[in-house]
């Protein structure tokens, strides 16, 4: 008996003739040749073989076109996502309520020692300089400190209340701390930034003047 099999594991696909006494023998012969992914056909004539090769060529062309289309769609999605991310960053920048009276700058940022036996992963300690640009003394301020990277993308946010008097056009140094959790993605990202790679933005919520 004459058989025709298509080896679907090869690139490009191969169409091969073979002889065997039965379908079982043909399958066994293919297994011995380590051919496991195949289509097997029985009693094909020469004109069928020519037609089959033509169909395989057309199939390969269609696969190539589909792969190219998928690649173009993926590129477009990547470009669209990048544009969306850029728009989101721009929207975040536009929505920030930066204080025009209070300016802050980062002096130090350190991760304190941990105490595993006490289930203590340490504390995130930071020191900032707070500038009062108002024309009167500030008694207390409340708002959000935004830690950003050098491109103004948000890294971490923390709400603070600073109860220290600041004279007009003067500044004070204020230190804050928070319990560190290495399993918190935002805190872990924040801990990994060096001080010189960060900038600070203060979103004003409330200012009490003296």
The pair of structure tokens assigned to 125 is 């300690």
Distance, CA of 62 to CA of 47 (rounded, Å): 23
Query: Residue 208 has what pLDDT?
Result: 93
Distance, CA of 174 to CA of 132 (rounded, Å): 13
Nearest Cα neighbor of 31 from 53, 9, 57, 51 is 9
Domain boundary residue among 67, 92, 117? 92
Torsion angle defined by CA atoms of residues 156, 161, 167 and 169, in that order, rounded to the nearest 10 degrees: 20
- Please check whether residues 126 and 76 belong to one and the same domain: no
Nearest Cα neighbor of 137 from 169, 113, 105 is 169
pLDDT digits (tens, 9 = 90+) for 66-103: 777 776 666 666 556 655 554 554 555 555 567 888 99
- Please check whether residues 80 and 114 belong to one and the same domain: no
- Give me the sign of the Cα torsion angle 50, 51, 54, 56: negative
Does the residue 97 lie in any domain? Answer: no
The pair of structure tokens assigned to 208 is 């009490």
Domain boundary residue among 68, 92, 116? 92
Does the residue 56 lie in any domain? Answer: yes
Among all chains, which residue has been given the structure tokens 């220290």? 164
Distance, CA of 191 to CA of 200 (rounded, Å): 15
Among all chains, which residue has been given the structure tokens 């993308």? 153
Residue 201, Cβ density class (10 Å: 0-12 exposed, 13-18 middle, ≥19 buried): buried
User: Domains in the chain: how many in total?
Assistant: 2
Give me the long-range contacts of 115-124 (CB less than 8 A, separation at least 24).
Answer: 121/179, 121/180, 121/181, 121/182, 122/180, 123/177, 123/178, 123/179, 123/180, 124/177, 124/178, 124/179, 124/180, 124/187, 124/190, 124/191
Nearest Cα neighbor of 134 from 44, 190, 210, 195 is 210
- Please check whether residues 198 and 110 belong to one and the same domain: yes
pTM of the model: 0.51
Tell me the pLDDT of the chain averaged across its residues.
Answer: 80
Does the pLDDT at position 182 exceed 70? yes
Structural domain boundaries, residue 145: 102-209
- Please check whether residues 133 and 173 belong to one and the same domain: yes
Query: Residue 23 has what pLDDT?
Result: 81
- Please check whether residues 177 and 126 belong to one and the same domain: yes
Query: Residue 29 has what pLDDT?
Result: 85
- Please check whether residues 41 and 74 belong to one and the same domain: yes
**Domain harbouring 119, CATH code:** 2.60.40
- Please check whether residues 106 and 205 belong to one and the same domain: yes
Domain boundary residue among 56, 72, 92? 92
- Please check whether residues 156 and 75 belong to one and the same domain: no
- Please check whether residues 122 and 181 belong to one and the same domain: yes
Does the residue 59 lie in any domain? Answer: yes
Determine what percent of the chain is predicted with pLDDT higher than 70.
78
- Please check whether residues 56 and 17 belong to one and the same domain: yes
- Please check whether residues 46 and 111 belong to one and the same domain: no
- Please check whether residues 191 and 110 belong to one and the same domain: yes
């Amino acid at each position: 008996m004459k058989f025709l099999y298509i080896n679907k594991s090869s690139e490009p696909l191969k169409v091969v003739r073979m002889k065997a006494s039965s379908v079982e023998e043909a399958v066994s012969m293919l297994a011995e040749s380590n051919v496991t992914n195949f289509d097997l056909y029985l009693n094909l004539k020469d004109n069928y073989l020519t037609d089959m090769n033509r169909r395989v060529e057309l199939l390969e062309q269609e696969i190539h076109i589909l792969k190219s289309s998928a690649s173009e769609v993926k590129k477009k999605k990547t470009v669209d996502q990048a544009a969306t991310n850029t728009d989101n960053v721009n929207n975040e920048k536009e929505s920030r309520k930066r204080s025009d009276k209070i300016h802050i700058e980062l002096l130090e940022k350190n991760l304190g020692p941990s105490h595993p036996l006490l289930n203590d992963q340490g504390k995130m300690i930071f020191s900032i300089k707070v500038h009062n640009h108002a024309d009167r003394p500030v008694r207390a301020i409340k708002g959000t400190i935004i830690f950003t990277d050098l491109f103004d993308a948000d890294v971490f946010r923390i709400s603070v209340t600073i109860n220290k008097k600041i004279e007009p056009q003067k500044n004070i140094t204020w230190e804050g701390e928070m319990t560190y959790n290495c399993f918190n993605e935002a805190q872990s990202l924040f801990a990994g930034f060096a001080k010189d790679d960060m900038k600070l933005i203060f979103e004003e919520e409330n200012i009490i003047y003296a």
